[in-house]
Amino acid sequence: MSLVAEKPSRPFAKFASRAFSVLCYLCMSLSISALIVLLWQVVQYGWEWLSWDFLTNFSSRFPQKAGIKAALVGSLYLVGMTALLSVPIGVGTAIYLEEYAPKSRWRTIVQLNIANLAGVPSIVYGILGLGLFVQAMHFGRGILAGAATLTLVILPIIILTSQEALRAVPSTIREASYALGATRWQTVWLQLLPAALPSMLTGIILALSRALGEAAPLVAIGAATYVRFTPEGIFDKFTALPLQIFHWTGDAKEDFHHIAAAGIIILLAVLITMNAIAVVLRSRLNKKIRW
Amino acid sequence: MSSIAATAGEDFVADSRTRRRHWFERGVHAVLLVFAGISIVTTVGIVFILLLESLQFFGEVSVWEFLTGTKWSPKASPGHFGILPLFCGTFLVAAGSAVIAVPLGLGTAICLSEYASPTVRGIVKPMLEILAGIPSVVFGYLAIVFVSPWIRSLFESAELFNAANASVVVGIMILPMIISLSEDALRSVPRSLREGAYALGGTKLDVSVGVVVPAALSGIVASFLLAIARAIGETMAVSLAAGKRPQMTLNPLDTIQTMTAYIVETSQGDTPRGTLSYQTIFAVGLALFLATFTLNIIAQSILKRMREEYE
């Protein structure tokens, strides 16, 4: 009986391992290049159609004259209104669940329910908005109905990210505050919210950029696609960037595909701006926190 | 005397202040409770509204016909209300996108968690976040303008709008979701397991595929389920790319219609309330809600069990 170790019985083990790592890297580069190739093609398609007139004209049956003003302004109003509705409710719910609610079965149910609501397709919220806001509450098909519907869509996201932000604040801060005789709300308002603000804001801005890109709920509540004015009140008809893009993309005329691409560039530019603001705010506010 | 009165006065002031603070605290508590209740009200509201209109629909059309009929033509007279063609379309797109996104996503997740250096991760992860943030209507545009001509050049029999277009873009759409959730699951596998496997003489392949992936399997499966639920509920890209013809087919090159695309088509036409086709929106919506909600609940319970395992 020899004491020398036998040769490994798997001659291809090393080769297989190498091959697998190559395969994995291949998967990763494919995923990334899909993004790059597709975006590059959009930019190529729409770049020449971007102009100042495109930003300041209303939509038109003629692609050369068509602009995106109504959709751009409509989207900004819509997202602003959605923020007004969703941020207080979302952050409030998160504070309640994290800081107030006793650990009971009821709280577990609510928590699970919110996680599930985050996975409900946005078109289902659209149907809910149609039945509830448009038909039952008579909001009409204006900005208020749109914003209320989008609020339902992004509320679970805001709640979940705000909860995470609150959970990340060390419990020593809470205990110190209570030890000094602060009430619950004083602790929340003066200690927890300022500390959780940077990551909370990031979550909120991400949720709002989701609202900016949503078209399905707006289609379901019957928002207009052809609008030649900017909205002035909360019950006014409106159109939004993703809706306008949807409308142009569905058009059979080739030229409309070019202005749809130009519209997509504008939409992505607004989204990137919002995300950049989130990054800057986060790093600014994070510097102020020391514990 | 006067000093006693002063103390009493101070006591009174302090007392009223405490009382005011007490009421304020209570008020805040009540307001927050109402906010938290809204999420419950939303869920109940969804179910209530969907059921309310669907029940009227099922007063006219039998549930049996709805679930087993193989023809969907609600606007014809007499109309046919079998949801199977819409189901079939949804299934075709979801399955096609899973075929694309599951292997690519899992491969990328393994690469990010087991192979890639921190620098590569630092570049790839933000790019995936960008991909996750692209609105679905943009993918619909890409399907029509770029993917459709490409598929038609590969397969001559492909129609202009087809299920394969939608599958490709929806597959790309759900990629970031699969990658980030699977990667979380892979990274939460304790280091000791990997080290043990290396100590037994395993190659990198043995360790990642033989040990880490099985250990993270529940999380990976949950990520697939959540992504498929997303694919089923995906609306704008599908309604632009897949077409508007509900039919029973498993050929991805055919024009089809999904449940979501039907809802979009019908609600765009400004259907008046109380008509049968208005109610079909809610009946189809109910089916869609039940399908995605079930998948989500299964995925959440798998995730919850996995978290308990490693904590």
Return the pLDDT at B311. Answer: 58
The shortest CB-CB distance from A28 to any of B124, B136, B230 is to B124
Mean pLDDT (whole number) for B198-217? 91
- Could you tell me the two tokens for B305? 């069990």
- Could you tell me the two tokens for B29? 């508590």
Q: Judged by CB atoms within 8 Å, which residues 69-98 of A form the interface with B?
A: 88-89, 92-93, 95-97
| Of A135, A162, A159, A134, the residue nearest A147 (C-alpha) | A134
Question: Residue B106 pLDDT > 90, yes or no?
Answer: yes
- Residue A6 — very low, low, confident or very high, per pLDDT cuts 50/70/90? low
Return the pLDDT at A89. Answer: 92
Mean pLDDT (whole number) for B273-292? 88
Q: Domain ranges for chain B, please list them.
A: 2-60, 72-310
**Residues contacting B1, CB < 8 A, separation 6+:** none
Question: Residue A291 pLDDT > 80, yes or no?
Answer: no
Q: Which CATH class is domain B72-310?
A: mainly alpha
The shortest CB-CB distance from B145 to any of A28, A45, A115 is to A45
Q: Judged by CB atoms within 8 Å, which residues 246-305 of B form the interface with A?
A: 260, 263-264, 267-268, 270, 273, 281-282, 285, 288-289, 292-293, 295-297, 299-300
Task: Report the predicted TM-score, pTM, of the whole model to 2 decimal places.
Answer: 0.87
Mean pLDDT of the residues in chain A: 86
Residue B80 pairs with which residues in a beta bridge? B73
E-strand spans in A175-233?
Answer: none
Question: Residue B2 pLDDT > 80, yes or no?
Answer: no
Mean pLDDT (whole number) for A70-75? 88
Question: Residue B307 pLDDT > 50, yes or no?
Answer: yes
For a pLDDT cut of 70, what percent of chain B falls above it? 94
Return the pLDDT at A1. Answer: 46
Mean pLDDT (whole number) for A5-29? 82
Q: Judged by CB atoms within 8 Å, which residues 36-65 of B form the interface with A?
A: 36, 38-40, 42-43, 45-46, 49-50, 52-53
Cβ–Cβ < 8 Å for B193, B217: no
Q: Judged by CB atoms within 8 Å, which residues 256-275 of A form the interface with B?
A: 257, 260-261, 264, 267-268, 271, 275
Question: Residue B194 pLDDT > 60, yes or no?
Answer: yes
Give the Å distances, CA to CA, from B161 to A259, B95, B164, B249.
Answer: 21, 17, 9, 14
Return the pLDDT at B3. Answer: 47
Query: What domains can you pick out in chain A, each with its CATH number?
Result: 68-288 (1.10.3720.10)
CB-facing half-sphere around the CA of A177: CA atoms within 13 A: 18
Phi (first) and psi of residue B131, to 5 degrees: -60, -40
Q: Do B264 and A42 touch (CB under 8 A)?
A: no
Question: Residue B208 pLDDT > 60, yes or no?
Answer: yes
**pLDDT tens per residue, range A101-122:** 888 888 888 888 888 888 899 9
Distance CA B237, CA B251 (A): 19
Question: Residue A5 pLDDT > 70, yes or no?
Answer: no
Q: Which residues of A touch B272 (CB under 8 A)?
A: none
Residue to test with chain B: of A20, A87, A264, A271, most B Cβ within 10 A = A20
- Could you tell me the two tokens for B270? 């400004």
DSSP A62-107: STTT---HHHHHHHHHHHHHHHHHHHHHHHHHHHIIIIIS-SSHHH
Question: Residue A4 pLDDT > 80, yes or no?
Answer: no
Q: Which residue has the higher pLDDT, A3 or A164?
A: A164
Unique residue bearing structure tokens 């409309």 = A256
Mean pLDDT of the residues in chain B: 87
Return the pLDDT at A108. Answer: 85
Q: Which residue has the higher pLDDT, A231 or A144?
A: A144
| Of B204, A222, B86, A238, the residue nearest B94 (C-alpha) | B86
Return the pLDDT at B158. Answer: 82
Return the pLDDT at B5. Answer: 47
